Chain A
Amino acid sequence: MKKEGEVRISSGCAISGIFCRNGKRITGEAIRKSIAVMHNRSNGLGGGFAAYGIYPQYSDFFALHIFYDSQSAREETERFLDKRFDIINLSKIPVRQTPKIPDPPLIWRYFITPLPHLLQDSQLDEDEYTSRAMLRINDSLKGAYVVSCGKDMGVFKAVGYPEDVADFYRIEEYEGYSWTAHGRYPTNTPGWWAGSHPFSLLDLTVVHNGEISSYDANRRAVEMYGYPCNLLTDTEVITYILDYLTRKQGLTLRECSRVIAAPFWTTIAIKDEEERSRLSYLRKMYSSFLITGPFSILVGFRGGMMALNDRLKLRSLVAAEKGGTVYFSSEEAAIRVIEDDPDRVWAPRGGEAVIVTLDKEAAV
């Protein structure tokens, strides 16, 4: 029998997100329930969750979730970390064994902070220092995959249906103000543990329904800026593009949305002059980061969430609001299952980002 990745399976995927503007921390039960409604959009070859606000006791430290293929990979990686970081705490991530999630890798969690003198000598800020180290682990330490490395957040992902992944990681035991979820139906690339969504770098996470037609052009561009793409899945490149544009180019997420889902020139042409010159600038300046092909994505970041469709809206995305809570999902039913009486339900338009952030008094 051919392995998944050698055969092509037709399309699908599901995404869901919950964001509590008032900073209220909710358990993973709600997001599990939401993504489970869209079971048929997945095929058991990938599921995952990103959660923010789950490690308040360690909020000053980078939280690493790492997959290892072997004990030797773990030992090598820990030696690598030990040279560069102060490891405040380390442990296996507690899981619930289930026959639905077979063959897990070794899954470890570390809370770390850069060694002060090395950080100072590097002349980098701690985000850059840490992200370089993490990309290097993914790029050069065999059998080790950094799944997430932000502060007060984490990614939980596996090969399996998302609801089973939730049970496996016991996500009902975590409390966060922001959750995203993904059910995978891999189309062009293999379903494997590190290749499941969300994809993450520092505080940024991305879940994605769709495929990137411009992948190779985008990959070449980000690799030029020091982001090696190793996870065999197109979504990875969105994470690096957004990290590059926000952290290194200083763009806002709204501006990023105009880069990766840039309007057509004919659409830009009928905008007023100021908007026209702004949109033209972004399209020309960052043309290699234009993402073509169908997508709907949820981007999690510290204190906020962004939902974005491709400019043609070739993948479904529904938004809803109830009190201080905002919901996004591939299907309205997946919102109704956890909030049956929303104040407002709407479909964001193609290329028009919906960005929600914590209320001022709740800011982290």
Chain B
Amino acid sequence: MKEIDIRKDGLEAVRKQSGGDVAVTGCLGERYIGCGMKDGILRIKGTPGNALASYLDGGTVLVDGNVQDAAADTMNDGLLAVRGSAGDALAYGMRGGRVYVLGDAGYRAGVHMKAYGDRKGILVIGGRSGSFLGEYLAGGTIIVLGLGYEGRDITGYFCGNGMYAGTIYLRTGKAPLNLSDKLIRRAVGEDEEEQVIRPIVEDFASVFSIPAASCLEGGFIAIEADSSKSYSQLYAAV
């Protein structure tokens, strides 16, 4: 495995990589690491700066620690896996690929994620998320597991505000705080859990080498747009 010390070699050295398995060491706030990357693996050591894996278009970015704001911004394909926590606006406008965060996410995680054709973004947060999770969600799947927060609030305020497509799954029985009346909250049946949630969560668990069973314990609820009160009329008549 190749090693790039970002303090010595700079971001340009990371950008020139394609297809290899590369450790990027000494990160301390450098922005745009993995931006637009199409293939290969980046193993990030330290604390990378904002917009990590933005426009990611394939390949894998693995982070041992925490990531700052706007990670996976407008990501198109590939995998971002973060063992620590993420800052605000995680996976903003993401339109494909997978983002897995084992710890917590900040405010506005998954804001305006979208889907088109076979592109469907998946965001899984192991811990809890800040307020405005999945705000203006337009497609894709968000799952919050609330590991370590059992029995407590795991989404903050305004979960799914303004969403008009896609689904937010929460591993809790509790309704999110002040859920908008334009959204519906429903229990997730066994079939849906097996077919939709289980494959994603098993993949998430295998990436971090943790037992999948504990991530699936207890039931899930789903938050979706209420099609009878759709926001779609708000922007354009369809």
- Chain A interface (Cβ within 8 Å of chain B)? 37-38, 40, 264, 266-267, 269-270, 312-313, 316, 318, 331-334, 336-337, 345, 347, 349-350
Contacts and interface: CB of A to CB of B under 8 A. Distances in A.
B210 interface: no
18 contacts: A269-B178, A270-B177, A270-B178, A312-B107, A312-B132, A313-B108, A316-B87, A316-B88, A331-B29, A331-B68, A331-B69, A332-B68, A334-B29, A336-B28, A345-B85, A347-B106, A349-B130, A349-B156
B127 to A, nearest CB: 12
Contact of B87 (A264, A270, A347): A347
Given A270-B178, A316-B69, A333 B130 contact: no
A37 B177 contact: no
Interface stretch (B45-53, B138-146, B198-206, B227-235): B45-53
Interface of B: 27-29, 31, 46-47, 49-50, 66, 68-69, 85, 87-88, 104, 106-108, 130-132, 156-157, 177-178
A333 B50 CA distance: 10
A158 to B, nearest CB: 23
Given A269-B178, A313-B107, A337-B28, 13 more contacts: A37-B28, A267-B177, A270-B177, A270-B178, A313-B108, A316-B68, A316-B69, A331-B49, A331-B69, A332-B47, A336-B28, A336-B47, A349-B130
A336 B156 CA distance: 27
Nearest to A269: B178
The 10 closest A-B pairs by CB, nearest first: A333-B29, A313-B107, A333-B47, A333-B28, A37-B29, A336-B47, A266-B178, A316-B69, A347-B106, A332-B47
A267 B178 CA distance: 7
A51 to B, nearest CB: 24
A333 B47 CA distance: 6
Nearest to B88: A316
A345 B85 CA distance: 10
B131 A313 contact: yes
Contacts of A337: 28-29
Contacts of A312: 107, 131-132
A336 B106 contact: no
A267 B87 contact: no
